[in-house]
Amino acid sequence: MTAADHAAKPPLRILLCAPRGFCAGVVRAIDAVEEALRRYGAPVYVRHEIVHNKFVVDSLKRKGAIFVEELDEVPDTQAPVIFSAHGVAKSVPEHASRRNLFAIDATCPLVTKVHREAEIHHRKGRHILLIGHNGHPEVVGTMGQLPPGAITLVETPEDARAITPPEGAELAYVTQTTLSVDDTAEMIAILRERFSNLAAPHKEDICYATTNRQEAVKQVAPQVDAMIVVGAPNSSNSQRLREAAERAGCPRALLVQRAAEIDWSQFANITRLGITAGASAPEVLVDEIIAAFSEQFEVAVEIATTAEEKVFFPLPRVLRSDAAE
């Protein structure tokens, strides 16, 4: 590139949201697959995508992980079978036990917390309202902790206004961990107004990482011409980041998995760009996208930090270094 070419590139100020990217639960889940491969060799079976990111899944496939949607796809084997970070219904480990599979549960501890809360409420005779997205693996897993009919799913404010729980039942609510903080607060407010006896979680169910990433986006979004969220279309927390950017005043907020997906027509004439990443998106993809913009613009990167994260979750017990080899 000549000096003239270099000078011709327009300036672009990138505000890089912090925190962004991997959360402690995602790190734990990926590390669990890699440690199982190290200890036991390939193959290691993984039920559902370990996290919702194609780059991560493909890299683990190359190392010997085999991804399946259901345990029926796993042959009779002594190889480890790992449950994803999103959690599973109780029927899944029961199925694994009947088949004598070597199951390792990589469910995020914050999702497990929601499962335990739902069980406690159920034991106390309460009907549970679950705020979440129908069909999301985390919601499927949470609903599968209890008998059919014990949980009513609430997806929208309209649902919150319309649901009719069992007459006379005491009520409690739990939530999916990756929801929009603002949307969830609206639905909780509607439910509390309708049901005065509604029991709440001991501690907010939406996880620290979801909350922190949304807050960083809200701070940056009004300052930029466009926002890129690095993440997968099936990643709930990534989609919520895109929505948060739009609501906070960003003219264009786009979900992008890889640099090759960038639609450059969306970024003509911008001078300020925000970038964040969903909790299942690795930092290497953020670097890749910044590099792609550096080809088109004279880039200056600033870190916009709104919180410090020091959360760590240990590996599942069977994979820890102090466990028997």
Tokens 């029961």 belong to residue: 94
Q: At what angle do helices 24-40 and 54-63 cross, to 10 degrees?
A: 10
Tokens 């997968």 belong to residue: 232
CB 318 within 8 A of CB 82: no
d(CA 152, CA 122): 12
DSSP for 88-137 reads: --THHHHHHHHTT-EEEE---HHHHHHHHHHHHHHHTT-EEEEES-TT-H
β-strand pairing of 11-18 with 272-277: parallel
CA neighbours closer than 13 Å in the CB half-sphere of residue 69: 2
β-strand pairing of 65-68 with 80-83: unpaired
Positions annotated as catalytic residues are 138
d(CA 90, CA 107): 12
Element (H, E) at 283: helix 283-296
Instruction: Give the 3-state secondary structure of residue 167.
Output: coil
d(CA 159, CA 187): 9
